[in-house]
Amino acid sequence: MNQEIEAGSVGIVQFSDYVFEDELPLDCGRSLKNVVIRYETYGTLAEDAGNAILVEHALTGDAHLAGKYSENDKKTGWWDEMVGPGKPIDTSRFFVVCSNIIGGCSGSTGPRSIDPDTGKRYNMKFPVITIADMVRAQERLMQHLGISQWHCVIGGSMGGMLALQWGVSYPEKVNAIAAIATTARVSPQGISFNWISREAIMNDPNWEKGEYEEQPSRGLATARMLAHVTYLSDESMNNKFGRGLQASDNFDFAFKKDFRIESYLEHQGTKFVERFDANSYLYITRAIDYFGLSDATDGNLAEALKPVHCPFLIVSFSSDWLFPSYQSQELVKALLKNANDVTYCNIQSSYGHDAFLLEMDSLGSLLSSYLSNLPENGADNE
């Protein structure tokens, strides 16, 4: 599966695709046929399959969690610093799984996949999906891999929502949860940013009601720029860019890129268009909007979390204004009300929401300690 190329690395890796034999029912009342889930694994599954960890990716992530696809690759997987032999998520101990969510555009079934009933791309005929649907698909993958209980489900941002949903949907199949820089329900502010992003895409004339052949690049880039601002903080932008000008010491007095932050955001938008799909962005952000664990319990989060009895690690970051610390603290209070074992840490950081991808030392230390002290799978967590 992989080979060592340097100390602490999982080495050269490859992805796998699992195709469902039967239909996947969805919350919207529809179902998907011939579902494909792309995933990667690292480490060795124990004989009793008790050492399996599921790592969930964020909104624009994928299954490529760690390692490289070839020695010539310039980039490693998106959380390579955290996953590998001797790293916080230690692949010499754990069998680590990461899968691309349904609705994505990195190998798993999504809106740009072929509809088996028509032979054409789904595009906007793809069913609206939820976070729970994504977890439902991953549970099928879990069965395929011969795993009956995850030792831990770990995720940041949207990945944290997926981790929390695992606890609610399949409490008996989760030994522990680590939810990082996330929320139990998306706020009106979060919904607002996602709405504006989708409007940018859908008002791009090249979107063509989702039937495009070439990306609606201007709309998708604008959506990414808006989202990227929410991942940063005022302090991090001031430290990195300030009010620095791009090309001269004076204002150009024109509507072009005067400031360095403007050029940076344009670069982020342009790079994003090269790797992500506009329709997938619409569907995944809508799934995030619909995420609210307490919606079915009239806002009572403790009641919504009653089925879950496993231990939790909850991590927030002081400068995260997309999913502020108070949202993690609400989650902690609800879990404590249910007598769950909860470890909480609010990490002081200037990086904003992106801190879960950047504060590797402090977050890595927390995760390593938490995983080392977890009960064995199947132990009584009540």
Q: Per the residue annotation, which of 99, 108, 113, 157 is the catalytic one?
A: 157
* pLDDT for the residue numbered 35: 98
Active-site residue 234, yes or no? no
CB 257 within 8 A of CB 266: yes
Q: 362 and 282 share a domain?
A: no
Is 233 assigned a catalytic role?
A: no
Identify any residues that bridge with 121 across adjacent strands, giving them in sequence order.
114
Strands 16-19 and 36-42: antiparallel
E strand or H helix at 107, and its extent? none
| Position 280 in a domain | yes
Residue 256 counted as domain residue: yes
Q: Do 102 and 251 fall within a single domain?
A: no
CB 161 within 8 A of CB 182: yes
CA atoms within 13 A on the CB side of 146: 8
Q: Which domain holds residue 203?
A: 191-286
Residue 29 sits in the same domain as residue 72: yes
The one catalytic residue among 320, 349, 350, 354? 320
How many structural domains does the chain have? 2
CA–CA distances in Å: residue 299 to residues 8, 21, 97, 153, 294: 44, 37, 33, 24, 5
266 within 8 A of 217, measured Cβ to Cβ: no
Together in a domain, 146 and 217: no
Of 268, 286, 304, which one is at a domain's C-terminal end? 286
One domain, residues 39 and 176:
yes
- Helix ranges restricted to H, 63-153: 131-144
Taking CA 37 as the corner, what is the angle to CA 33 and CA 42, rounded to the nearest 5 degrees? Answer: 160
The CA-based angle 88-94-98, given to 5 degrees, is 85
Query: Do residue 159 and residue 51 come from a single domain?
Result: yes
3-class DSSP state of 368: helix
Task: Output the domain CATH number for residue 324.
Answer: 3.40.50.1820
Q: Indicate the helix (H) or strand (E) that contains 28.
A: none
* DSSP string computed for 156-207: ETHHHHHHHHHHHH-GGGBS-EEEES--SB--HHHHHHHHHHHHHHHTSTTS
Give the tokens for residue 160: 């944290």
Co-location of 213 and 142 in the same domain:
no
Name the active-site residue from 57, 64, 151, 353: 353
Residues contacting residue 381 through CB under 8 Å, at least 6 positions apart? 175, 309, 310, 311, 341, 375
Q: Are 339 and 60 in contact (CB under 8 A)?
A: no
The answer to whether residue 382 sits within a structural domain is no
E strands, 104-250, in order? 152-156, 177-180
Cβ neighbours, 10 Å, residue 7: 8
- Say if 9 falls within a structural domain: no
Q: Evaluate whether 59 touches 284 at the Cβ level (below 8 Å).
A: yes
Task: Calculate the alpha carbon distances from 63 to 139, 282, 303, 381 in Å.
Answer: 15, 19, 33, 30
Same domain, yes or no: 100 and 135:
yes
Other CB atoms within 10 Å distance of the CB of residue 188: 7
In a domain, 10, yes or no: no
Predicted pLDDT at 8 = 81
- Do 250 and 173 fall within a single domain? no
Residues 181 and 195 in one domain: no
Is there a catalytic annotation at residue 157? yes
Stated pTM of the model: 0.95
Is residue 11 in some structural domain? no
Domain-embedded: residue 271: yes
> Which DSSP symbol is given to 210?
G
Nearest to 272 by CA among 197, 372, 181: 197
Q: Are residues 249 and 264 in the same domain?
A: yes
Q: Tell me, what CATH number does 250's domain have?
A: 1.10.1740.110
Instruction: Quote the mean pLDDT of the chain.
Output: 95
Give the Cβ contact number of residue 203 at 10 Å.
12
Q: Does residue 4 form part of some domain?
A: no
Together in a domain, 20 and 149: yes
Tell me which of 263, 286, 309 is where a domain ends.
286
CB 364 within 8 A of CB 250: no
Among 228, 259, 286, which residue terminates a domain?
A: 286
Return the residue matching tokens 């998708």: 220
Residues of the chain with pLDDT under 50: 1-5
